Amino acid sequence: MLMIASAVFQIIGAKISPQIERWAGQANLILYFSALLCGLLILSFVNQLPLLIGCFITLNTLVSVSQPIFSNYFNALIPSSSRATLLSVSSMLFSVAMIVLFPLSGWLIERLRFTVSFGAMGMVLSLVLVVLVIVMKRRAR
């Protein structure tokens, strides 16, 4: 039942992604989606099943909203002659990151419990996000 509900929200999210993109703009979406991801991970500290289910559905919806937006963004940003190479490199970097992150996540879950592990990851990602925003603002000056 959870997977069906998640799939319904993913379909709705993909359908409304153009409206979300127009409302927020592509540049702001990266920041908004990153902050929302951090918030959802931190919420897992609460360890209440209804809240965790809501976080799961929201996270899956976030992915379904972001994929078409960023696909269009990359298509507009990258010339077609370089697109396949850059998308291939992006996919490879994602795979390498998952090779490290998935076992690390599993190890943390075994040691600290699910909620503490994901909450801690959210806090670490939040700190990284704050540092990146500060660095980007300094470079913009």
Compute the CA torsion angle 85, 88, 89, 94 (nearest 10 deg).
160
Digit-by-digit pLDDT tens for the chain (141 residues) are: 889 999 999 999 999 988 888 888 777 888 889 999 999 999 988 889 999 999 999 999 999 998 888 888 878 888 888 888 888 888 899 999 999 999 999 999 999 998 999 999 999 999 999 999 999 889 887
Encoded tokens for 8: 């319904």
Residue 33's closest CA among 68, 7, 2? 68
pTM greater than 0.85 = no
